[in-house]
Structure 1
Amino acid sequence: MTDRALPVVDMSLLDGDDTDRARFRATLLDAAHHVGFFYLVGHGVSDETIEKMFAVTREFFALDDEAKRAVEMTKSPQFRGYTRFGGEYTQGQIDWREQIDIAAHYPPLEGDDDFLVLDGPNLWPAELPELQTAVGEWQERCGAIGLRLMREWADALGAPRDVFDAGFAERPSTLIKLVKYPGRDSPDKQGVGAHKDPGVLTLLMIEPGKGGLQVQGPGGWSDIDPLPGAFVVNIGELMEWATDGYLTATMHRVVSPPAGDSRLSIPFFFNPALSSTMAHLDLPADLLAAARGVTDDPDNAISGTFGENMLKARLRAHPDVARIHHPHLV
């Protein structure tokens, strides 16, 4: 990958004729195979809706410390809620950001799988009741986009269009983060460290005009600036697993803004049910020949079961929550 902008994939082509839809699938597949990241335009989410989501995000971070810490993640066995600056880790190093994690809300299930501890309620700040409404609407819009992308990928990969649907039919494990990166003059500029996402795909909306996202390619790290109104989409480890590495889960990170500035972002993680096993595709011969295999990392083995991937990521990122609520898992 070079320092050029990410590929642009136009979802409005799906509302055109057969030629337009075929062009969309070809562009989608090429971007996901060669880069693992792309800009998604034509997705149907209005500028007004995007600004509304950023407005409520700003309102949340403007709450006083007492209000935010009333919903702190250390109170949640499900790893939901607010994390203060320096409260999350990537590759053992502190990420310098504050955020609130809000996931799909389901009654806990009984079972022997450790990852079932991740299902449960969210923590909502009493001082900002409109947050729950705004997040619910964003979750619904992004979930519909995510499922549509999955069906187009399936088609482009030579599989039935509904091959991935079963994992999302009941209890999809979606997650929204509202994130604020403060400006720093420290030589340690880790806003969030280098990582791959553990699930299927991420729809990221970045505050207009704010850089900091970097994506790793063959030539090193490339700066990715926001494209107005576009989602930045990236592939997670489950899509790499499902396609024997034909689709790429790409390392990425965020560098802190300069001192005196800040940066907001809203990632939506589109993931199947915790207990679901991802469909493993029988790729056509030409695609299989270009598949690179699943990343072999003994410190980060990729499982086809989403819950196993997610629990591993949560325990590493939030060791304080793990020690308080799940000492038997650390």
Structure 2
Amino acid sequence: MAHSPLPIIDLAALEGAPDTRRQMLAQLGRAAREIGFFYLTGHGLSEAQQTETLALAARFFALPEPEKRAVQMVLSPHFRGYNQVGAELTRQRPDRREQFDIMNEASALDADHIHSPWQRLIGPNQWPAALPEMKTQLLAWQERLSDITLTLLAAFAEVLEQPQGVFEGSIHGAPYQHMKLIHYPGQEAGGSSQGVGAHKDPGYLTLVMQDHHSGLEVETATGWIPVPPLPGALVVNIGELLELASNGYLKATLHRVVSPPPGVSRLSCAFFMAARLDATVPLLTLSPELAAQAQGPESDPANPLFYQVGENVLKGRLRSHPDVAARHYMTAAASANQQPASGQTTNSERRQPQPA
């Protein structure tokens, strides 16, 4: 199988000898700045463990529809649970995938303690009664993926020539975790090929585990390129929060998934890590050399960016899941769909924090 021109970063080398570490940090910086995507090896997750997680996903998606619908996301104000094919939207078009979402396992806040809509993201996951092992296995897997992203985030602090722990204030205690098990059914004759429409991710970093079928694509200056599975490797991409923190030095890149051909099913697992929901993304003070290459975060009136993490995460959830928004977030959904008027600044420009 031909492979994408994406670079390959060895996480183990980032913890190796000083010379090897410096070389890998330089490669990491180029990958994050020039493309915003890379393969990650040396992460400590065996192929067998990855296969086991995807097998669990296959068992869930094979459950009878009534059992999956018993935990459908529309029942959860916290955006947890099952979505059937077409339930999630990207750029107002339905995605051809079914999925199961979990996040940090927590108790919902009492109404008296909720002062902003994003606080309703905090709460428990839904779990299918037919697969009691799912809770323990997926929460443990989510923690392992979270540990990898925290190691990468520390490496990015070095890439950006920042003090050790510069992101600690925004992640200490409970960084926002969000994981999806995803099933992409094969295309239907004359149907849409949009497995997932073109989008960027709202957090710090995303890790994607693919089965042996291709479908993920990344936009580059020369057009869309495929990101076929590389055995044992994870695919990593930069999220909007790292683009914001670095004032655009690091790049959050548009990506999409094309549905597999007829008769083929594709499975994947995506993990999104953001700062704590109650945190504000630090605007880092870059060296003159790096600052000269930072052009500011990309301005897109259709996708205003927020330095307040909960607002930025909720923005994406409301637009992707209009059924959940309509049932649980009517006022917040209306606000999220308001676009800046011509000539006005975007939300990210209005809400910039002080440099760290």
Q: TM-score range by the shorter chain?
A: over 0.9
Normalising by structure 1, we get a TM-score of 0.97
1:179, CA displacement in angstroms?
0.2
Of stretches 295-304 and 230-239 in structure 1, the one that deviates more from structure 2 is 295-304
Match of 1:314 in 2: 317
Equivalent of residue 297 in structure 1, options 297, 300, 309: 300
Contact 1:201/1:236 (CA < 8 Å) preserved in 2? yes
Match of 2:286 in 1: 283
Normalising by structure 2, we get a TM-score of 0.90
Sequence identity of aligned pairs in percent? 46
User: Which whole-Å CA distance do the structure 2 matches of 1:316 and 1:55 have between them?
Assistant: 30
Match of 1:59 in 2: 59
The aligned length equals 327
Residue 98 (structure 1) aligned with residue 102 (structure 2): no
Match of 1:84 in 2: 84
Residue 212 (structure 1) aligned with residue 215 (structure 2): yes
1:285, CA displacement in angstroms?
1.1
Secondary structure at the residue paired with 1:258? coil
Match of 1:271 in 2: 274
User: Which whole-Å CA distance do the structure 2 matches of 1:272 and 1:324 have between them?
Assistant: 27
Match of 2:15 in 1: 15
Give the 3 Å change call, closer, same or farther, for CA 213–314 of structure 1 in structure 2: same
Residue 235 (structure 1) aligned with residue 255 (structure 2): no
* 1:258-305 alpha-carbon deviations (Å, 9 max, x no partner): 110011010000111111111211111111111121111122111112
Secondary structure at the residue paired with 1:40? strand
Give the 3 Å change call, closer, same or farther, for CA 282–229 of structure 1 in structure 2: same
User: Which whole-Å CA distance do the structure 2 matches of 1:325 and 1:301 have between them?
Assistant: 22
Match of 2:353 in 1: none
RMSD: 1.2
- Whichever residue aligns with residue 210 of structure 2, its letter is I
- Whichever residue aligns with residue 327 of structure 1, its letter is M
Secondary structure at the residue paired with 2:175? coil
User: Which whole-Å CA distance do the structure 1 matches of 2:158 and 2:164 have between them?
Assistant: 5
Residue 250 (structure 1) aligned with residue 253 (structure 2): yes
Q: Which runs of 5+ in 2 are unaligned?
A: 334-356
User: Which whole-Å CA distance do the structure 1 matches of 2:202 and 2:150 have between them?
Assistant: 17
User: Which whole-Å CA distance do the structure 1 matches of 2:196 and 2:269 have between them?
Assistant: 14
Match of 2:197 in 1: 193
Contact 1:86/1:98 (CA < 8 Å) preserved in 2? yes
Contact 1:74/1:321 (CA < 8 Å) preserved in 2? yes
- Whichever residue aligns with residue 59 of structure 1, its letter is R
Residue 139 (structure 1) aligned with residue 142 (structure 2): yes
Residue 111 (structure 1) aligned with residue 114 (structure 2): yes
User: Which whole-Å CA distance do the structure 2 matches of 1:303 and 1:212 have between them?
Assistant: 30
- Whichever residue aligns with residue 165 of structure 2, its letter is D
1:329, CA displacement in angstroms?
2.1
Secondary structure at the residue paired with 1:106? coil
* 1:204-239 alpha-carbon deviations (Å, 9 max, x no partner): 00112x111110011111111011110100000000
Q: Which runs of 5+ in 1 are unaligned?
A: none
Contact 1:152/1:161 (CA < 8 Å) preserved in 2? no
1:187, CA displacement in angstroms?
4.5
Contact 2:78/2:121 (CA < 8 Å) preserved in 1? yes
User: Which whole-Å CA distance do the structure 1 matches of 2:14 and 2:202 have between them?
Assistant: 28
Residue 25 (structure 1) aligned with residue 28 (structure 2): no
